[in-house]
Amino acid sequence: MSAIQTAGPLMRRRRLGADLRHLRVANALRLEEVADHLGLAPSTLSRIETGKAPTRTTYLMLMLDLYGVDDPAQRRMFMDLAREGQRKGWWIAYDDVLPAGAGSYLGLEAEASALMVFQALVVPGLVRTNEYARALIVARRPWLPAEDVDRLVTLDMRRQDGVRGDHPIALRLILDESVLLRSIGSPAVMRGQLARLIEAGREPAVTIQVLRLAGSPSRVVAPSFGILRFAEPGDADVACAEGMRGQVQLEQRTADVQAMRATFEALSESALRPPESAELIRHIAGLG
């Protein structure tokens, strides 16, 4: 089965957008010229080309005509990508309680083959316990009704399907030691979360390192961030960062993503190796 057949809606949008941008540039057309031809705002066309918005088939046909794409098979492939890119992911059911940008991030996470995360504040969603997730949501958004808290906990737990199963996402996780020491919920909640980290570190697709607060000086200081990677070589990495209210900012510019990747590797070099990290987590949890 081809990569196009197995890709989800967000990945199809990104691939179609990249192809459309390539066709526009190959025809020496400016974004504003094509947008005017379609009767769209340039910002709308830009969102289509970056995969942030789905492509209507009516607009797509006009673009293919403008770009001189006459081959029926190629036009059919583009149309299929556009239709599939309009599908909704499972996370759309939570859209009313998700912070800005979180839905787009979840779509990419669901289709990623690997994820590198440095977390300086809290345990990331893919390895949280139910109790820790609940305590964290309440701490971050104390105004939320109880039923919305329940829904967000359910979402966090469903995300974790991505690190299980036959083809789990390869997760490289670096935690600042303060994450292990910061109380989220009761002492029992924290002990359960630390035990979950130890368990997660034993999974074949998961690597966990801890960056010590004391000891050898770190070569780099950074806020929390993540980098998503995809199986297809043509699918560019995406970097992400979380804002104060949980909003997610996505970055696809090559130079910025490369800088974040270099930062992650520098943090990894400074952090404890996985066996030492597991031992420290056990010590903090009081598990011997």
Measured between alpha carbons, how far is 78 from 151 in angstroms, rounded to an integer?
36
Say whether pLDDT at 149 is over 70.
Answer: yes
In the chain, % of residues over pLDDT 70: 94
Domains defined along the chain, listed by start: 3-85 (1.10.260.40), 95-285 (3.30.870)
What percent of the chain is modeled with pLDDT above 90?
A: 59
Structure tokens at 172: 């490289």
Number of residues that this document lists for the chain: 288
CB burial of residue 223 (10 Å; 0-12, 13-18, 19+): exposed
The string of DSSP letters for 21-54 reads HHHHHHTT--HHHHHHHHT--HHHHHHHHTTSS-
pTM, 2 dp: 0.78
Residues 187-232: pLDDT tens digits?
999 999 999 999 999 999 999 999 999 876 667 888 999 999 988 7
> Is residue 6 scored above 60 in pLDDT?
no
